[in-house]
Amino acid sequence: MTKIIIHGGFFSESSTNLETKIAKQNALLHIVKDSYQYLQSHSALEAVVYAVSLLEDDALFNAGIGSQIQSDGKIRMSAALMDGVSMKMSGVINIEEVKNPIQVASILMKEDDRIIGGEGATNYARKHGFDVFSTEIPQRRAEYEAKLEAIGTGTVGCVAIDAEGRIAVATSTGGKGFEIPGRISDSATVAGNYANEFCGVSLTGVGEDIVSGAIAAKIVTRVTDGMTLEQAFDKTFQELKPFDGFAGAIAIDNKGNMFHQDSHPSMVYASFDGENEEVFQ
């Protein structure tokens, strides 16, 4: 019953830039299939790290390479990982000059202090062999210098269930762009990244809205309490409407059901179960 679903944030250019839209679709489909093959011989926890690392390595997405630049001209990234079996979550917040923040989060799984931020996160990465690496690309620098503030909804994520029914989730973000230094996104919190033995959920969108809605934790809790994935999504997204919350989510439950929903189209995603593929159109 191995299945995997990934997201690449929201795609505001979908109606105006066909070339970029097609490139993102192709990238997502390639990554989800590659990660599915990896999942065949690895655990769900290992597979979500693998998938999110591939997303971080692709400059089409706002995580790792291609991350947004903050208001002081620096790039700070966040990422988190959660194992639905052990119920352990690890993460880095506002880490700098690391190619793959999700891999640092993965190493933190063995620590007692599993979520660290800022300079401490960067120093931890250096001590564990992560060399200084600039994730800046010319497009982001041009946007920053021209003060072209983007919509701020870029994040990548993955949820997987392996052959033994274990669920894991990983999420990574390059931030919303031009934010106040020190701003905390949802990605390394239980609002944006959560899993247990019943369900795993990864979020993208406006971090402040996602945290306000406690979305990932709510969906997982509701599935744990007996709701279907669709029911849990519907109730949780209904609760975003009073403040027009901007969010998108992907999920897999322990029955192998996959689901995705967004409050403001269009979240880019792809899923694969070995036979059937689905990709954002």
**206 backbone dihedrals φ, ψ, rounded to 5°:** -85, 115
Radius of gyration of the chain (CA): 17
Active-site residues, by number, are 155
Give the whole-angstrom CA distance, residue 251 versus residue 198: 11
Whether the CB-CB separation of 190 and 169 falls below 8 Å is answered with no
| β-bridge mates for residue 201, sequence order | 194, 251
C-alpha of 100 from chain center: 13
Whether the CB-CB separation of 84 and 167 falls below 8 Å is answered with yes
What DSSP character marks residue 265?
Answer: S
Q: Which residues of 24-52 are buried (b: 16+ CB within 10 A; e: fewer)?
A: bbebbbebbeebbebbeebbbbbbbbbbb
Give the whole-angstrom CA distance, residue 7 versus residue 39: 17
Whether the CB-CB separation of 256 and 272 falls below 8 Å is answered with no
Give the whole-angstrom CA distance, residue 272 versus residue 281: 15
Structure tokens of 121? 């996160």
Residues contacting residue 84 through CB under 8 Å, at least 6 positions apart? 44, 166, 167, 168, 169, 195, 196, 197, 198, 199, 200
Whether the CB-CB separation of 258 and 271 falls below 8 Å is answered with yes
